[in-house]
Structure 1
Amino acid sequence: MRIALIGATGMIGSRIAAEARSRGHEVTGITSSGSDGTVTADARDAASVAAAVRGHDAVVDAIAPPRDGSDATPPMLEYARGILEGMRSAGVRRLLIVGGASSLEVAPGVRLFDSPRFPEVARNEAAAGIAQFALIREEAGDLDWTYVSPAAIIAPGERTGTFRVGGDQLLTDAEGNSSISAEDYAIALVDELEKGQAIRRRISVAY
C-alpha cells in the first residue's frame, strides 16, 4: 500500500511511518519543511496537498496542534480542510486522522474535556482536536475516513502489541488510568488502515 503521511516527523507520525514500513508499505513522509527526506507540502493549501498525495492509496493526517500559546483551533481546521480538498482533487479516498482523546466520553454525554479534572494547560490543544473531529464528521462524508483517538496519555514507550480498541468512550484500566504508548497506537492505526473496519467513524486505543 502507498501511504502519504502528513506530519511524518512528529512523535506519533514517526512511529506510524516505522510501523507501516516494517509491514512492507511504501510511506511518503510529508512535512511543511521537507526535512529528513520528506516531501514538502503546505497542508493548508489543497493544491499543495493534491500534488503530494496523488497516486497514493491512503492519507494519514498526523499533524499536531500548534503548541506556541496561540489559538490552536483555526490552523487545525485549515489543515483539515486543505487535506480534505487536496484528497478530493487527487482522487484519494482513504483517510486516517491522528486524533485526540478530549472528545471521548467519560460518562453518557460527558466528554473528557468536560471533566472538572481536565488540566487547564491542555485545553487549547484539546479544543482544537474537538473542532477538528467535528469538521471531519460534518464535511468528510464523501471520503473513507477513520478518526483514531489515543488514550488520555500517549507517550513514547514499548511496542507490546497488546492493547484494546474501543469507540467513542475513554478506555481506562482497573485503576482508572488511560494510557497508550505511541508505538502501540501506531500498530492500531496501521491495523485499521489495512483492515478498513471502521469507515466513517472513530476508534479509540488504550491499554
Structure 2
Amino acid sequence: MKIVLFGATGMIGTRIAAEALSRGHEVTAVSRSGRVPEAATGATGVAGDAADAQAVAELAAGHDAVVSAVSPPRDGSNPLEPFTALYEALLKGVRAAGVERLAVVGGAGSLLVAEDTKLVHTPGFPEVYKNEALTHDAVLTSLRTVDDLDWVYVSPAAEIAPGERTGTFRLGGDWLLSDADGNSRISAEDYAVAFVDELEQGATSKARITVAY
C-alpha cells in the first residue's frame, strides 16, 4: 500500500510511519520541514502543508490512502478556525487527487462518557486541553457530513504517550474505553498498530473508532 502521511514528524505520525514501514508499505512522510524521523527511516520525506489544497492534491496523487496526523496550533490561540480551515483544504486536496481512503488521527475529548456527555465536558477535564479537544470535535462533526470519501477517524484513549508496543488493546466506537481501574490509556506505539490495522483491513468506513487498553 502507498500511504501519504501528513504530520509525519509528530509523536503519533512518526509511529504510524514506522509501523506502516515495518509491514512493507510505502510511506511518503509530509511535514513542513520535509525531514524523515530516525524512527521512520525508509520513508520518503517531502516538505508540504496540509492547509494547502493544491499541495495536498499533488502529494496525494497516486497513493492508496491519505493519513492526517496533523495537530491544532498550540501557541495559546484558539485553534478552532485555522484547524477547521486546514481540514477543509485537506479534504479538497484529497478529492482532487482522486484518493478515496482518508484516515484521521483524532482526539479523545469527543468520546462519550454518558448518553449526552462528552469527555471534554466532564468536570476536571484539563482546561489547557479544552480548546484543542473542542477543535478536534468540530473536525469530526464536519467529517460526519462527508459521504464521498471513505474516511475513518481514530480516537486514542484519554491518555496517550510514548510507551511499549504490545499489540494488545481493545477497539470501540464513540464511547470512551477504560480499564477495570477506571484508567483510559494507550501507548502511541499500540495506537499506531491499531491505526495501520485499520488502513490494511478497511473495517471502518465513514465512522469513528477508538483504541485503548
How far, CA to CA, are the matches of 1:29 and 1:134 in structure 2?
Answer: 27
Q: Structure 1 length normalisation: TM-score?
A: 0.97
Residue in structure 1 matching 2:100, options 93, 98, 102: 93
1:182 paired to 2:188: yes
Query: Following TM superposition, by how much is the alpha carbon of 1:35 offset from its aligned partner in structure 2, in angstroms?
Result: 2.6
2:135 is matched with 128
1:157 is matched with 163
Once structures 1 and 2 are overlaid, which stretch shifts more, 14-23 or 123-132? Answer: 123-132
Query: Following TM superposition, by how much is the alpha carbon of 1:141 offset from its aligned partner in structure 2, in angstroms?
Result: 1.4
Query: Following TM superposition, by how much is the alpha carbon of 1:206 offset from its aligned partner in structure 2, in angstroms?
Result: 0.3
1:146 paired to 2:147: no
How far, CA to CA, are the matches of 2:61 and 2:94 in structure 1?
Answer: 8
How far, CA to CA, are the matches of 2:57 and 2:203 in structure 1?
Answer: 26
How far, CA to CA, are the matches of 1:197 and 1:79 in structure 2?
Answer: 26
1:33 is matched with 33
Gaps of 5+ in 2: 37-43
CA deviation map 1:76-124 (0-9, x unaligned)? 1122111111011010010000000000000111100110121111111
1:17 paired to 2:24: no
2:40 is matched with none
Once structures 1 and 2 are overlaid, which stretch shifts more, 3-12 or 77-86? Answer: 77-86
Q: Per the alignment, in what secondary structure is the counterpart of residue 183 of structure 1?
A: helix
Gaps of 5+ in 1: none
The runs of at least 4 consecutive aligned structure 1 residues that moved more than 4 Å come to none
How far, CA to CA, are the matches of 2:52 and 2:19 in structure 1?
Answer: 28
1:103 paired to 2:74: no
How far, CA to CA, are the matches of 2:53 and 2:204 in structure 1?
Answer: 25
* 1:19 alignment partner AA: E
How far, CA to CA, are the matches of 2:49 and 2:10 in structure 1?
Answer: 16
1:68 paired to 2:75: yes
CA deviation map 1:118-164 (0-9, x unaligned)? 111111111111111111112x2100000000000000000000100
Q: Structure 2 length normalisation: TM-score?
A: 0.94
Q: Structure 1 vs Structure 2: percent identity of aligned residues? A: 60
Q: Per the alignment, in what secondary structure is the counterpart of residue 38 of structure 1?
A: strand
Query: Following TM superposition, by how much is the alpha carbon of 1:33 offset from its aligned partner in structure 2, in angstroms?
Result: 2.5
* 2:175 alignment partner AA: Q
1:79 is matched with 86
